[in-house]
Amino acid sequence: MIKVFVNECNSDCIISNVYVLGKKGYSCIVVDMGKASAEIVEYIKSHHTKVEALLLTHGHYDHISGINEFLHEFPNTPIYISREDEICLSDPNFNGSNRHKQRISFDLKPILVDDGNELEFKCARVKVIHTPFHTRGSTCYFVKEDNALFTGDSLFKGSIGRSDFANSQPEKTTDSLKKLLSLNDYTVCYPGHGPVTKLKDEKRNNPFLQRLVK
């Protein structure tokens, strides 16, 4: 079961979507934590016995801002992030919060992941797919049992993430998107912002994928 907390972006608040994966009455994993809202905390506590991990798709401030509040409610939860984006957790210049008159940083020791890693949890087996371009460490997490792909800012419904940040790698956009195209058409994509979509629909309608589909 995947619970979707979709957060709309506006001029005052840019917060990433949050996803909770796991069967009711058992442990769960959480993807991204832009804001540890009361709704999210209450849902986890009422539906799950434990949070096994917080998976971060990348290190931009709108995906990590709620970490302290989250850890206050769920202490000692292991945090996973790509090796290339580890610096974002401690450096506001890399996570982008400095551009919004904030200085977000954390004193954490995350578990670092690399492309192709298989993460074993009680509630799911998660494959790490490194998709650099939005950031150097942008990562998608694929859960085969649920046919679910958590794409962060690598893929949105009808679009993809920007690649004009200081830690972007625009030259790797094509290779990263091709990795996602190798997944089956019925993969459900859970993006960092906006609505859930299906990979087959993005192949048909997303201009950034259309040009790569032969």
CATH number of the CATH domain containing 206: 3.60.15.10
Number of domains within the chain? 1
Per-residue pLDDT tens over the stretch 107-136:
899 999 999 999 999 999 999 999 999 999
Burial of 157 (0-12, 13-18, 19+ CB in 10 A): middle
pTM metric for this prediction: 0.94
- Closest by CA position to 63, among listed 102, 89, 32, 85: 32
Q: Give 58-91 pLDDT, tens digit per residue.
A: 998 889 989 999 999 999 999 999 999 999 898 8
12 is in which domain, residue-wise?
2-210
Report how far Cα 14 is from the mean position of its chain's Cα atoms: 15
End-to-end CA distance of the chain: 33
